[in-house]
């Protein structure tokens, strides 16, 4: 299931970025403190942990592919999903003190941009809400 893999990646990224102290706390926030929104693609350039240079017609030039050919394959896969279903799986974003940080979904953002969509589904985790663990 792609959705489960995406949430797992998002939890891992949020811990690696030290937004959460543990996978348990991160998982709690992902499950109970997130809401889905249509996030404007134009605002993606302002996301922490996202390279705004990716919002171009050549988002992964040969000399700048962190994952090699897999970057291009992932974007192509997401573009095919958008063409077939109208949108991709939601991306994951953390919101803390008015700042947005991308946790998972860079290739989906690029694909959505290349497909000339104005919004992308996004789970936004409200990190400023009380932690009830």
Domain ranges of the chain: 2-126
Q: What is the pLDDT along the chain (133 residues), one digit of tens a residue?
A: 578 888 999 999 999 999 999 999 999 999 999 999 999 999 999 999 998 988 887 766 656 655 566 778 888 999 999 999 999 999 999 999 999 999 999 999 999 999 999 999 999 999 987 655 4
How is domain 2-126 classified at the architecture level of CATH?
Alpha-Beta Complex (3.90)
**What pLDDT does residue 81 have?**
96
**What pLDDT does residue 95 have?**
96
**What pLDDT does residue 131 have?**
58
Q: What is the dihedral of CA 43, 49, 55, 59, to 10 degrees?
A: -170
């Amino acid at each position: 299931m792609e959705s489960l893999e995406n949430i797992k990646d998002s939890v891992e990224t949020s811990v690696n970025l030290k937004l959460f102290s543990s996978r348990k706390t991160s998982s709690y926030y992902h499950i109970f403190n997130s809401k889905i929104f249509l996030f404007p693609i134009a605002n993606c350039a302002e996301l922490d942990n996202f390279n705004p240079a990716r919002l171009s017609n050549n988002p992964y030039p040969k000399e700048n592919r962190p994952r090699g050919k897999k970057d291009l394959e992932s974007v192509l896969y997401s573009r095919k999903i958008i063409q077939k279903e109208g949108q991709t799986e939601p991306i994951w974003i953390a919101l803390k003190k008015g700042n947005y940080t991308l946790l998972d979904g860079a290739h989906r953002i690029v694909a959505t941009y290349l497909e000339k969509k104005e919004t992308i589904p996004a789970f936004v985790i409200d990190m400023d809400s009380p932690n009830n663990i």
